[in-house]
Structure 1
Amino acid sequence: MKYLLVQEDEEGVERLWGRCAGVEGLFVDPVPPPRETLTLRGCSPEGPLSEILAEPGVSFRGLGDMCVEVWDEEEPVQWWTLVDAVVVAHQPHPGDPARYDVVIGAGVRNEESFFDVPATPRFELLAGTTVAAARAGRCSSVDGLFAPRADPDPVPLELIGCEATEPLLVGTQRPRRWAGAWADLLVLDRHGAVMASCSVDLAVSEARPSVLGYGLEDITLTDGGTDRPSPAARGIWTEWYQGPPAAPNGWAPYDAQGRTAWLELTTRAWRGRASGPDRTGGAYHLDGRFVTDVPGLHCAIAEALLGPGRYFGREWNAFKDCLSGGFGVAPPFTLTWHESDVARDALADVVEDPEGQLSYFEETVQLLERCGVTVVLR
């Protein structure tokens, strides 16, 4: 059995709902949001957006994904992704000819957020995603951003060769009368350790004798959840199935999407490690040859401090938390960053703070030094 279905009760105790030999439909690309037309009002473009608007014949020029950060007076409180954004048209803003009204065609996705829209918001634009982005300017409003949107249709998931326990067993016997519940699908490696997990809805649409026989069932879940890995992660999961990596730079051959999937697996692997006191002092060496994007930077830092397959944050905020202690290594210590020019050049246009003037690489070095790390750039 390679998969477990568990649900955590109110006291934090996990209850087993079933065991499965296989899962079909685990690796899926997210359903793309429908295309919409939005208008960036009073836009002061920078970076990639400024370059596009400066070119003649600007209509229908692609920007890739864009991130719109909604700020109150002090900080961002909402994050939106404009998927595969395309500049359709632009014209001078009526109130200020130095600014523009820019019409964008894109799919719109609201990233996880628990904050209401501020009374007087401002909008920061980033070309890319919240993980890795280049500053693209700011605007006074975005027409169409806060329109109501229907949730995408759920994508089913097939549990193959399943041994169901109560209460999932009730759902397989009476699928139309059982509403189900959300649970965690735990993915095991060949040693039986949990290497990954995702949330699934246990609403059963069909249950039938398994193709594997032996009294097992094949169960169709109506909704396999939205946090399933993409097909690009399949090879990485196959590699990790043999156990956490032992050799360095296993993440290096992958692109940014693959490296992000690698970081996801390090998160779960860290949860399963025995905790102990943080190490302080000492000298560490970062192999910077392959740090060509933000996920690669976090892979390399974690590997330098803790070893292959280990976790030390997968994005900016988590990285800051790790530097505060509790993750195996804590400042003060010395970090020698070899081939640092690779990251300096690759991340020159990538920013973490749209209000700042530093690149992601420079912000990382500054944060390390501010936390008590002696950084030696080679």
Structure 2
Amino acid sequence: MKQWTVTGKGGFDDLKLDEKAPVPEVGDKDVLVKFHAASLNYRDLIITKGQYPFPVKDNVVPGSDGAGTVEAVGKQVTRFQKGDKVLTLFTQGHIAGSLDAKTLAGGVGGTVDGVLRQYGAYDEHGLVHMPSNLNFLEGSTLSCAAVTAWNGLYGLKSRELVAGDCVLTQGTGGVSMFAVQFAKAAGATVIATTSSSEKAEKLKQLGADHIINYKDEPNWGEAAKKLTGGRGVQHILEVGGPATMRQSINAIAIDGVISIIGFLGGGKGENEPGFLDCLMHMCTVRGILVGSRQQFEQMNKAIEGNNIKPVVDQKTFKLEETKEAYQYMWDQKHLGKLCISME
């Protein structure tokens, strides 16, 4: 079979294609998946550059988000049968509840071989059934970005999203656009930030109630709070990191939740908020890493029940064009999730 591996930390040139790799063997509890599609995440790009802050094994097959059909099952497998449409779980051992040190070390495309190959074998507990209303390209977008958005909105049991809440999203990356869709399906009001009229139009199509262009309004946190009548927003999905955290703090409501997901704005920011800012604003700030299988399955029910369709970039790459796909995403030419087809 064909598969990609990450052979170093020097960038995209360290992605190597092997066209004669062996198809994985299937253990008693394993499921062999024939992949039809995969989608990329920012994580995949920085792994090749040695910038990912979590463990990565040598010569790993990259990519965490894959969709395919079950080709074969081990003799002890009970959750799947041949022909089922399945998706990969980002952290293979994270079935429910909180992460621990052991499950944290099971990231697909990091310490576990990923999906940028034609076949992959995974423990039956590391897969979920694909929502019936999605095709393989759409399904391949869910494992990381969608589950992360769901965790951001529903992962803190004491302050889950409820109808009437206000949610603030940042930009038009995968997590943010899934969050808009999930929040609107739940009856929430959505304030979205972006940098262009084209992206603003897409956010409106997804249901965003208010759009703030952060280039025109650098103090978008205060602007968002004003849109709520001064109460602030209940949920913020913080993808920018230190560069945007000050504005998120300014926008949050009393007892609101800021879920820190990434650092697309860089690792450092001017006027970064600290502990006292959290105290003064009486909010919860939590870091999250994707989510559990239980959350994935709950989310999939919502996707089916509300016929939610992931936003997929108009350009799809072939498996052999993976290196070009990485560069396309790095150059920020994509809108929504960027997919790779194995067909």
Name the TM-score, length of structure 2 as normaliser: 0.25
| Greater Cα radius of gyration, structure 1 or 2 | 1
| Higher relative contact order, structure no. (Cα contacts within 8 Å, ≥ 6 residues apart) | 2
